[in-house]
Amino acid sequence: MFLTLGILYLYCLGLSTYTVIAIGCLAVPILLLVLFFLVVPETPIYLMKSGNNKKAEVSLRFYRGSRYDVPLELAAIQREIDAAARKKASFSDLVSSRANLRALIISLGLMVFQQFSGVNAVIFYSNDIFKSAGSTLDPGNKLIILLHIMLRRSLLGPLCVKGIATGIAVAVNWIGAFLVTLCFGFLVRHFGSAATFWIFTVCCVVGTVFTFMVVPETKGKTLAQIQRELGGEK
């Protein structure tokens, strides 16, 4: 979401010809981001892996609230850390477990549908798109609102395979971005803008159905609970 808001913010600044002011305004959210990370606690998993159990408890209470059963989740996190330390994960571990495989499929599906929605094509080719649309205004002075629907991959996979799964998902994401950016001009030249955006529309519809049918709700759930659901347990 904040990536998209940043893109929108940059397009808004593009309305001004004052380059120095525009660059100065871009520095404001960067400074706010730095200040934000100075006050926000580290994640409980990172703190427990570092041996800071007390800080991990404080961090978990910060994120979950004072009424949450913090000791129970801390114990579950510790079991995940111990399991990850006992066994070095491999690709076979990722695909042999139903929960791990389903988490990988969900992550890859979201990455593919995000990119093939055409979002990066619109961002990179916005100038050409507005010109081909017959707009009488300067294409550099348009505001474009784009929506990214991202699911953090770290919410799904267990600690022992998270690194492998995240690496694969990130690679698929940017390969998809490369392919869409590379093929957009070819599709427009040979099939026209309307047909090209209908392809993106179909991808958006299929992605919506995929998200509704396959992606689990993770709000308020521990990693262990999410893993059990991905494994087919109710």
Domain-embedded: residue 73: yes
pLDDT at position 46 is 86
- pTM, whole model, 2 decimals? 0.61
User: Do 112 and 14 reside in the same domain of the chain?
Assistant: no
C-alpha 218/C-alpha 203 separation (Å) is 24
Q: What's the DSSP call for residue 138? A: -
pLDDT at position 141 is 41
C-alpha 35/C-alpha 53 separation (Å) is 25
For 202-215, write each residue's pLDDT tens digit.
Answer: 999 999 999 898 88
User: Do 144 and 212 reside in the same domain of the chain?
Assistant: yes
Residue 110's pLDDT band (cuts 50, 70, 90): confident
User: Do 102 and 198 reside in the same domain of the chain?
Assistant: yes
C-alpha 180/C-alpha 123 separation (Å) is 11
For 33-74, write each residue's pLDDT tens digit.
Answer: 888 888 888 888 889 888 888 999 999 888 888 788 888 888
Domain-embedded: residue 145: yes
Domain containing residue 194: CATH number? 1.20.1250.20
Tokens linked to 138: 């300067």
Catalogue the E-assigned strands of 89-190. Answer: none
User: Do 57 and 119 reside in the same domain of the chain?
Assistant: no
CB-CB contact of 108 with 169 (8 Å):
yes
pLDDT at position 123 is 76
DSSP H/E element including 173: helix 159-214
Q: What's the DSSP call for residue 219? A: T
Domain-embedded: residue 92: no
CB-CB contact of 218 with 103 (8 Å):
no
Please give the residue range of the domain that contains residue 68: 43-87
User: Do 224 and 108 reside in the same domain of the chain?
Assistant: yes
User: Do 112 and 56 reside in the same domain of the chain?
Assistant: no
User: Do 18 and 109 reside in the same domain of the chain?
Assistant: no
Domain count, the chain: 3
Task: Please tell me the least confidently modeled range out of 1-5, 94-98, 157-161.
Answer: 157-161
Average of per-residue pLDDT values in the chain = 77
User: Do 192 and 112 reside in the same domain of the chain?
Assistant: yes
172: Cα separation from own chain's centroid: 12
